[in-house]
């Protein structure tokens, strides 16, 4: 059994060579590390013929806002296993795992260096036609095949145990559902937002919905979630969309992932108001983002209908019409979780570059006011959402 | 590590003596086995001064309708642990575990021989004033203290893993939610019920609710359930009520246990129509059962309100008013599960003695028609139940 030690370029290369399966024995290998160094080491290893792989190693701590706290290495196991599970049903949109070693917290992945991280691309105003469709297919396919509609109950219970992820779930539980709604030193927002934040915290109806969303996050193992579908977890190119980094993966409510994804598109939507000065360019980006959201919602629903009609193995869950009420509840959850993503990215610990990098402070503040308000509206209206169109219309009515 | 072997009187006594903690070294012990022999061995061991204990040992198979199938010994571990967990928060109504050995699948329990099994008592027409109140306190207390309102999320996830109970859950999943609603050789009902059964199976609205109830049973680890609260799992006396046999325990929807309990009271209610010829006596029993149901529902709700107000530790779940909507959903689930208990005990594999022992076939059939109809109504109306009074009124309107 290998014992954990953090790699450097040299030991990473030694390790790769010792595996003996990725490069020719006499290959001339080069190696460099390009992770942000806060959570994980990420090495790119390449031979003289430009064959390359990625070696990712989890670090036993996280550094955030200057602070350092211990963080379980078990997240490397979870991440590799989620990628393998999701890859087994949706290889087109899941990064490939080539090798994993839990003791070293090391995963070797296909190199997706020909693609780019979606968040930076959207910030730069670049668009990808297949994005909504691809992400919807990834989310619908992976969530269906790990749900009670498909999995044998005993197999599902075993998987729920395998993917129990208490430490990383605790981060989400705190940052999404607790901190923003009370006085907590981890929160981070400009004082000009204080009044709006105070009003949010006094809105009883809203706090009730947040409680329900948290309860569901805690106790609703509907499927194996990615757990962290923001635009920084998606590699994109003209013809490819690949999900990475599911270290927050666990069995949770289906609506969480799609809600988080749409929330990140909406954060970018609002950010463009503070970024793009030319109205036509802004209109184009806005209309692209809205189309992407609309496509994503429709395709997600459509794909779930198709898969459940063809492949539901549970007798009781085959009941005619049940899938409609099930998906309606998923949508309501998605809308609620989408709202909590907007709120926590605006006033909680972790912000998004889309907004944080807006240089003009007053422009940034206007964006933050908008994301916070939109988040509130999504949360408050979640329970009355009856269709993908309801969801979409609420967004339209707010942003127009 | 002790290796599993089924005890007989002699080896059971040897085992007790080897533990050296229950009786004096020179005690004169007597021992007899009085289990039904189908699932477990149950020995009563007593000394000359009438000190006694119960030794329960799980058998590695279950015998049912002549058939024998293997059944995990792990259920003995689950049963002992659930009793310990429930006993730690509600000792008054939980049988005490004195010792447990998972390898031998043996649990030593306090002797409750001074009490009687509720089902036989109700069949004999005997009543217990505290029943509804006591069972409500047991269910509310054990469910609150093992819910997200109280448990730390990391502790809860660990407990969910500990109490993963796939084999026994599979029995419930099949017998409650699948078999009765389709043609299956395990079902058991008189041919005179066939038309009513066929109508039930064609009722789309009902099948949709059953699907929702099954999905919730599969994926809603709200609390550590007893998992099998029928009137055969309750010891009663004039001043004591004790729950036993939680081998079906797991983390599931709170409404399941209370729904099962009320379902069993209603099975007895309907059975009295075929048992008791004298109208005044029947009226007394009926009114006792309805009062017990009403008390149970009200006290369960009241106790949950009290506990959650005083002891909710989760910040988000403290939101004003959230508990009301949470409990309303628990009630809706309870009503649905209550209905499925009536249906499956009427047309599924396992019947109840309350009805099965009615000698007159035509009388028995009338009772079965009534329990099946009442089960249907409870399932169909579950979603519109808004209060304990709604639940109670639906029962009243049907049985009167």
Q: How far is A122 from chain B (nearest CA, A)?
A: 33
Write out chain B residues lying below 8 Å of A211, CB-based: 316-319, 322
Closest CA to B380 of B179, B205, B199: B205
Tokens 């430490």 belong to: A167
Write out chain B residues lying below 8 Å of A319, CB-based: 204, 207-208, 210-211
**Per-residue pLDDT at A1 exceeds 70:** no
First CA to last CA distance, chain A: 59
**Per-residue pLDDT at A63 exceeds 70:** no
**Per-residue pLDDT at A36 exceeds 90:** no
Q: How does residue A64 score in pLDDT terms, banded at 50, 70 and 90? A: low
* Chain A: residues touching B (Cβ < 8 Å): 148, 153-154, 156-158, 160-161, 164, 166-167, 169-170, 173, 177-178, 181-182, 204, 207-208, 210-212, 214-215, 218-222, 251, 314-322, 325-326
The C-alpha atoms of residue B331 and residue B353 are separated, in whole angstroms, by: 27
Write out chain B residues lying below 8 Å of A318, CB-based: 211
Q: Which two tokens stand for residue B70?
A: 């293997």
Residue B177: which of A158, A167, A316 has the nearest Cβ?
Answer: A316
pLDDT at A181: 98
Q: How does residue A233 score in pLDDT terms, banded at 50, 70 and 90? A: very high
* Chain B: residues touching A (Cβ < 8 Å): 148, 153-154, 156-158, 160-161, 164, 166-167, 169-170, 173, 177-178, 181-182, 204, 207-208, 210-212, 214-215, 218-222, 251, 314-322, 325-326
CA geometry: angle A200, A204, A205, nearest 5 deg: 100
**Per-residue pLDDT at A62 exceeds 80:** no
Query: DSSP 3-state assignment of A312?
Result: coil
pLDDT at B62: 76
Q: How far is A145 from chain B (nearest CA, A)?
A: 15
Q: How does residue A70 score in pLDDT terms, banded at 50, 70 and 90? A: confident
Mutate to test the interface with B, among A163, A319, A379 (most CBs of B within 10 A): A319
Write out chain A residues lying below 8 Å of B210, CB-based: 316, 319
- Contact flag A317-B154 (C-beta cutoff 8 Å): no
Mean pLDDT of A102-114: 97
Write out chain B residues lying below 8 Å of A173, CB-based: 153
- Contact flag B219-A148 (C-beta cutoff 8 Å): yes
pLDDT tens for residues A261-293?
999 999 999 999 999 999 999 999 999 999 999
Residues of chain B falling short of pLDDT 50: 65
Residue of B nearest to A314 (CA): B178
Mutate to test the interface with B, among A149, A156, A157 (most CBs of B within 10 A): A157
- Contact flag B207-A322 (C-beta cutoff 8 Å): yes
HSE at residue A28, side-chain half, CA atoms within 13 A, is 3
**Per-residue pLDDT at A38 exceeds 80:** no
CA distances from A315 to A97, A149, B188, B290 (A): 34, 9, 19, 35
Written in H, E and C, the secondary structure of chain B is CCCCCCCCHHHHHHHHHHHCCCCCCCCCCEEEECCCCCCEEEEEEECCCCCEEEEEEECCEEEECCEEEECCCHHHHHHHHHHHHHHHHCHHHECCEEEEECCCCEEEEECCCCCEEHHHHHHCCCCCCCHHHHHHHHHHHHHHHCCCCCCCHHHHHHHHHHCCCHHHHHHHHHHHHCHHHCCCCCCCCCHHHHHHHHHHHCCHHHHHHHHHHHHHHHCCCCEEECCCCCHHHEEECCCCEEECCCCCCEEECCHHHHHHHHHHHHHHHHHHHHHCCCHHHHHHHHHHHHHHHHHHHHHHHHHHHHHHHHHCCCCHHHCCCHHHHHHHHHHHHHHHHHHHHHHHHHHCCCCCHHHHCCCCHHHHHHHHHHHHHHHHHHHHHHHHCCCHHHHHHHHHHHHC
Residue A173: which of B153, B178, B319 has the nearest Cβ?
Answer: B153
Q: How does residue A67 score in pLDDT terms, banded at 50, 70 and 90? A: low
Q: Which two tokens stand for residue B20?
A: 């050296």
Residue B319: which of A207, A251, A316 has the nearest Cβ?
Answer: A207
- Contact flag A164-B157 (C-beta cutoff 8 Å): yes
Cβ contacts of A382 within 8 Å, gap of 6 or more: A209, A213, A332, A333, A335, A336, A339
**Per-residue pLDDT at A65 exceeds 70:** no
pLDDT at B61: 84
Mutate to test the interface with B, among A143, A218, A220 (most CBs of B within 10 A): A218
First CA to last CA distance, chain B: 59
- Contact flag A218-B321 (C-beta cutoff 8 Å): no
Q: Is the Cβ–Cβ distance between A191 and A130 less than 8 Å?
A: no
pLDDT at B67: 54
Q: Give me the phi and psi of B252, to 5 degrees please.
A: -145, -170
pLDDT at B63: 66
- Chains A–B, number of C-beta pairs less than 8 Å apart: 116
Q: Which two tokens stand for residue B340?
A: 């499925």
- Contact flag B178-A315 (C-beta cutoff 8 Å): yes
**Per-residue pLDDT at A66 exceeds 70:** no
Write out chain A residues lying below 8 Å of B221, CB-based: 219, 221
Residue A177: which of B177, B251, B316 has the nearest Cβ?
Answer: B316
The C-alpha atoms of residue B335 and residue B379 are separated, in whole angstroms, by: 7
Check: pTM over 0.95? Answer yes or no: yes
CA distances from A289 to A131, A282, A352 (A): 10, 11, 17
Write out chain A residues lying below 8 Å of B178, CB-based: 315-316
pLDDT at A37: 64
Mean per-residue pLDDT of chain A: 96
Write out chain A residues lying below 8 Å of B181, CB-based: 315-316
Q: Is the Cβ–Cβ distance between B287 and B273 less than 8 Å?
A: no
Write out chain A residues lying below 8 Å of B161, CB-based: 161, 164
């Amino acid at each position: 059994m290998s014992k954990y030690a953090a790699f450097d370029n040299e030991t990473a290369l030694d390790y790769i060579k010792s595996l003996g399966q990725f490069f020719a024995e006499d290959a001339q290998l080069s190696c460099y590390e390009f992770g942000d160094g806060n959570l994980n080491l990420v090495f790119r290893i390449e031979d003289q013929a430009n064959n390359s792989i990625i070696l990712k190693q989890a670090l036993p701590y996280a550094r955030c806002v200057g602070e350092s706290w211990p963080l379980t290495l078990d997240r490397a196991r979870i991440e590799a296993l989620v990628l393998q599970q999701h890859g087994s049903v949706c290889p087109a949109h899941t990064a490939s795992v080539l090798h994993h070693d839990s003791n070293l917290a090391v995963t070797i992945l296909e190199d997706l260096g020909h693609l780019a991280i979606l968040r930076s691309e959207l910030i730069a105003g670049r668009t990808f036609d297949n994005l909504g469709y691809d992400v919807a297919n990834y989310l619908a396919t992976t969530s269906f095949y790990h749900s009670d509609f498909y999995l044998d109950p005993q197999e599902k219970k075993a998987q729920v145990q395998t993917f129990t992820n208490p430490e990383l779930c605790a981060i989400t539980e705190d940052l999404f559902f607790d901190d923003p709604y009370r006085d907590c030193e981890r929160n981070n927002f400009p004082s000009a937002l204080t009044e709006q934040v105070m009003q949010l915290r006094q809105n009883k109806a809203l706090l009730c919905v947040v409680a329900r969303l948290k309860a569901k996050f805690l106790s609703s193992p509907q499927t194996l979630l990615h757990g962290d579908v923001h635009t920084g977890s998606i590699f994109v190119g003209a013809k490819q969309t690949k999900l990475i980094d599911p270290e927050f993966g666990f069995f949770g409510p289906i609506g969480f992932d799609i809600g988080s994804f749409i929330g990140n598109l909406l954060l970018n939507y609002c950010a463009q108001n503070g970024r793009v000065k030319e109205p036509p360019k802004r209109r184009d980006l806005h209309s692209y983002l809205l189309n992407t959201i609309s496509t994503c919602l429709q395709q997600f629903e459509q794909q779930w209908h198709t898969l459940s009609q063809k492949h539901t193995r549970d007798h009781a869950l085959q009941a005619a019409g049940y899938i409609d009420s099930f998906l309606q509840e998923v949508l309501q959850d998605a809308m609620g979780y989408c709202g909590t993503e907007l709120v926590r990215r605006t006033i909680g610990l972790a912000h998004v570059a889309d907004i944080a990098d807006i240089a003009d402070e007053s422009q940034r503040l206007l964006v933050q006011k908008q994301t916070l308000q939109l988040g509130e509206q999504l949360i408050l209206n979640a329970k009355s959402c009856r269709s993908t169109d309801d969801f979409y219309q609420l967004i339209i009515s707010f942003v127009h």
